[in-house]
Structure 1
Amino acid sequence: MMNPFSWLQMTNMISYQGLVRTFPKAIPYAGHGKLVTFGIVPSHPETGYGYIRRGQQDGSDAFIVHEFVEKPDYDIACNYLSSGEYYWNSGMFMFKAESYLAELKEFRPDIYKQCERAVMQTNEDLDFVRIDEEAFAQCPSESIDYAVMEHTSHAVVVPMDAGWSDVGSWSSLWDISNKDESGNVTRGDVVQFDCRDTYVHSEDALVATLGLDNTIIVQTCDAVLIANKNHVQNVKKVVDYLKSNNRTEHCEHKEIYRPWGSIKTLVHGDEYLVRKVTLRPEMQLAAQIHHHRSEHWTVLSGKATVILEDREYNVEENQSTFIPAGVVHVLSNAGLQPLEIIEIQSGKNINEDDIVRVENTFSGRK
């Protein structure tokens, strides 16, 4: 699932052959302490990408980085292309960890120290190692380019000619996707009439379009984005608006993934909450108590093992159980298939602060 406003989650598209040809060229430079960035050989005057200007050649496969350049207008992008001195900034790097950390410590000691604090206090969560959230949240948010690469004297750029596309916007997905005879791309439950050059993505609802041209529509369970394809990269303006107005659509999603499975919110009221909980095979939730709400669990598929105070029992498909407020309880999936349940919470407080986790000593479980 992808929030239509979380477009920065999207990745670069690049040919495997291009990577195989280029990456080995960068290894000797990284091995000698250089901070390598990969510059994409431009194929056209692109205004949506940042650029890297190369300097003096360094060996046979790289150039010293002269400067990083922000997204240009069209005329300047044409000049960049004709000069042969500029590459698209791929945002991909290769370096030894110690080389980068040494430069980070020199140019941004505030970031270095805060990250150091965050990793000094970690805890294991199944297959995850979680750093200290409070310490890391205080770390300044800045890209590698701004924090280090624009300041270090050890940056080199290795050119890469690999059919690269920065899939950082929905219009880029339209560029690389197979289109119908009218230039339309559709994903999901979509019906179109008299449309041209559109990209329509539907996650869980019917989307019908009439007479649209050069348009992006993205429907998810979180939000809907409708934009002219030429303006879709400005979606950051929407994200900034959501942040400044204390909205949560850009960062809180109705479906949340956890190491043990996932939770999807279906209905949310003032004193009730309906969720679909998926628990992976052989996984168990922590023992907990809710003081201000009760819960009903109905099994959709699989078999749930429930511990309620000192009683353990199974709940089969199409069966349900009731969890009163103030009672220690545990949910686990002892089967080999995912366990799916509908959870109905009701009470005066259905927020996360009404979860009190307790040490689980039931039946030898951890």
Structure 2
Amino acid sequence: MRKNNFMLYGCLVLVGILVGSVLFVNPSAQAFWGDDKHVEQKKESKKIVIPQEQAITKVVDEVGPAVVSIITKKVKVSRDFFLNPVPRQVKGLGSGVIFDKKGYILTNNHVVAGAEAIKVILSDGRELQAKLVGNDPRSDLAVIKVDAKDLPVAPLGNSKQIDVGQLAIAIGSPYDVKFRNTVTTGVISAVNRTIRTKNGILENLIQTDASINPGNSGGPLLNSQGEVIGINTAIIGGSAQGIGFAIPINKAKKIVSDLIKYGKVKRPWLGIYGTDITEKLKNYYGLPVAKGVLIIQSVTDSPASKAGLSQGDIIIEVNREKIEGMEELKRIIKKQEIGDKLKLLVMDNNGGLTPVTVTLKEMPSK
């Protein structure tokens, strides 16, 4: 009997050893009992960086410091109960990008227009007073300047080389200065867009789905190489999402040069209001041609009026180049300089042709 008890005891000990060895060898059991020293150690997760993430972080590191917040003070006049004027000070917020070591900053005209004081906050926290160098309401661009040393500068790219679908990075100060240098990303959604804003019509814009919010205006739109390809300017409100617009940097380059040199943009001017001739318009008014520019009004004292152009005339050729509508006429005029002569071929309502030479003048600022 004692022998049987001894054998039973030995078997239990053996089973206990085997079970114990399983507990100490089995990782899941070790984890369960909390006896695994390796499980107690915090595992380090590897940071995997894909090429697009790498491009974005590189751009932000290199170009982000050149993006500034712009705070303006404007005076707006309202009326009290007795219709007396009551001036009040209003603060505005926008963004800008430093493009020259001399302290020149590119932004939107609507950010700084009418401002009594302009303050710039750099990415390093420095606050500087800025002065308006020049502004252009027609393109919604402006240049301001700060006096400071060791300023970071953003490289200007080539907006003619952008492709729909490529990466787009926007940096700015949405809603509040405490959100300055906010980065959003997306793609180039489309090019050559035209929109109507409360300040006028903007043409040939870049469309992007990178988030552009109030306060982002004037900030840069960048490509994956960290080059400025546009200046963020507008969003479509209401229920639309992911639809923002930027002024192509190539257009801005031409304007910036004039703003620094003259404080305004000098443009050649013909001085007409016109419309494209369509088949429908031709049939309705009995016009002799189906293509060209129909003059609706010739502005008083303009080059056009001084050359004898008047309402009802049809421009069908400019410098021996046939034109189909206003876009082609504007394209040709933009290539000219103030003082250049345009040779027009003009048709009257009876189909008679008359060559007319017009000397372009500087477009009035208003």
TM over 0.5: no
> Which is greater in Rg?
2
- Structure with more relative contact order (C-alpha pairs < 8 Å, separation 6 or more): 1
TM-score (norm. length: structure 2): 0.24
